[in-house]
């Protein structure tokens, strides 16, 4: 089994419900077990600013799936939640799932880069990730707690 961290986000429809349902969908993946989930965060949009705020979280899973099989499974969960990938980046979405890190895996190809190359730029990822793994060392980026300390978290709110 390999420990992996998955980012979850939504800002359309019942965003909170979409993220909570996605935790269950992750736990239901074959050869995969949900180990832990972060609290939810309300965060301002990133990239495209003219859109609703997001609900974001991170899941820690244990999986036997390969990185690409895991990516394909996440894309299936997104489609089941009504996500349509139309080529627009950073826009509104019913559900967004990203593989952030897989223990012992460094990978970069046309479909997937691990660890995720933009973790250090994103408070909406670092805040929930730091709740689960503040001491996680991301190859080429640094320790999660240190990355978070250097990131602007203005407008981000931990939800009850």
What is the C-alpha to C-alpha distance for residues 52 and 10, in angstroms, rounded to an integer? Answer: 9
Candidate list 37, 60, 96, 122, residue with the active-site label: 96
Q: Is there a catalytic annotation at residue 85? A: no
Burial of 149 (0-12, 13-18, 19+ CB in 10 A): exposed
What is the C-alpha to C-alpha distance for residues 8 and 133, in angstroms, rounded to an integer? Answer: 16
Q: Is there a catalytic annotation at residue 96? A: yes
Distances (CA, A) of 125 to 21, 97, 131: 18, 11, 10
48: left (phi over 0), alpha (psi -120 to 50) or beta: beta
Cβ atoms of 44 and 57 closer than 8 Å = no
Candidate list 60, 98, 111, 146, residue with the active-site label: 98
DSSP string for residues in 103-138: TT--EESSS-EES-TTGGG-HHHHHHHHHH-TTPEE
Candidate list 14, 83, 86, 146, residue with the active-site label: 83
Candidate list 37, 60, 93, 122, residue with the active-site label: 93
**Which residues participate in catalysis according to the annotation?**
83, 93, 96, 98
């Amino acid at each position: 089994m390999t420990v992996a961290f998955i980012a979850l986000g939504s800002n359309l429809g019942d965003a909170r419900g979409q993220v909570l349902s996605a935790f269950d969908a992750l736990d239901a993946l074959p050869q995969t077990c949900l180990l832990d989930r972060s609290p939810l965060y309300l965060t301002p949009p990133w990239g495209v600013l003219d859109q609703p705020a997001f609900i974001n979280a991170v899941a820690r899973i244990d999986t036997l799936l390969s990185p690409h099989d895991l990516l394909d499974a996440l894309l299936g969960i997104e489609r089941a939640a009504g996500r349509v990938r139309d080529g627009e980046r950073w826009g509104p979405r019913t559900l967004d799932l990203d593989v952030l890190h897989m223990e012992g895996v460094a990978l970069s190809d046309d479909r997937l880069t691990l660890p995720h190359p933009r973790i250090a730029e994103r408070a909406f990822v670092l805040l929930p990730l730091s709740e689960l793994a503040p001491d996680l060392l991301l190859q080429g980026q640094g320790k999660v707690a240190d990355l978070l300390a250097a990131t602007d978290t203005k407008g981000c709110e931990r939800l009850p």
